[in-house]
Amino acid sequence: MSPKDLVTFVADHVQSWQPQLAQLVRASAPGSVHATTVRTSRRPEPWDPGLVTLIGDAVHPMIPAGIGAAVALADAARLAQELGPEIRGETPLPTAVGQYEQAMRQYGFDAVEASEQRLQS
């Protein structure tokens, strides 16, 4: 699509969300508009935890739906919670990381699937 066609396509798509947003999109300079490929992740099989882990889009990239930053913050909070006993010497580091990863695979990839469903609606 040409930049002008992209502006029209997006404005038409968001018109039902908020008419002012469609007006804002229509006011965009076509030269500032371009298409980009957005990729999303799929729910992985569990893996053996190690000494390094990932949070946010590094582990569960998703289609923009306004929830990505919140999920990344939830990852950070969950990881900090699981590392508490490790810091006190109560839990081995791989166990703490594994507990974080197990929970993150559930809620993180639930969020990925929710972002895809929002795109389709």
pLDDT attached to residue 55: 94
Give dist(CA 7, CA 29) in Å, integer.
9
**Residue 21 above 80 pLDDT?**
yes
pLDDT digits (tens, 9 = 90+) for 96-116: 999 999 999 999 999 899 888
**Residue 40 above 90 pLDDT?**
no
**Residue 77 above 80 pLDDT?**
yes
User: In Å, what is the CA distance from 105 to each residue of 8, 19, 53, 87?
Assistant: 37, 37, 12, 23
Domain ranges of the chain: 3-32, 56-120
**Residue 65 above 80 pLDDT?**
no
User: In Å, what is the CA distance from 47 to each residue of 70, 98, 101, 115, 121?
Assistant: 24, 9, 9, 24, 33
Q: Look at residues 50, 78, 75 and name the one whose alpha carbon lies nearest to residue 61.
A: 75
Give dist(CA 110, CA 25) in Å, integer.
30
Mean pLDDT of the chain: 90
**Residue 39 above 90 pLDDT?**
no
Confidence of residue 121 (pLDDT cuts 50, 70, 90): low
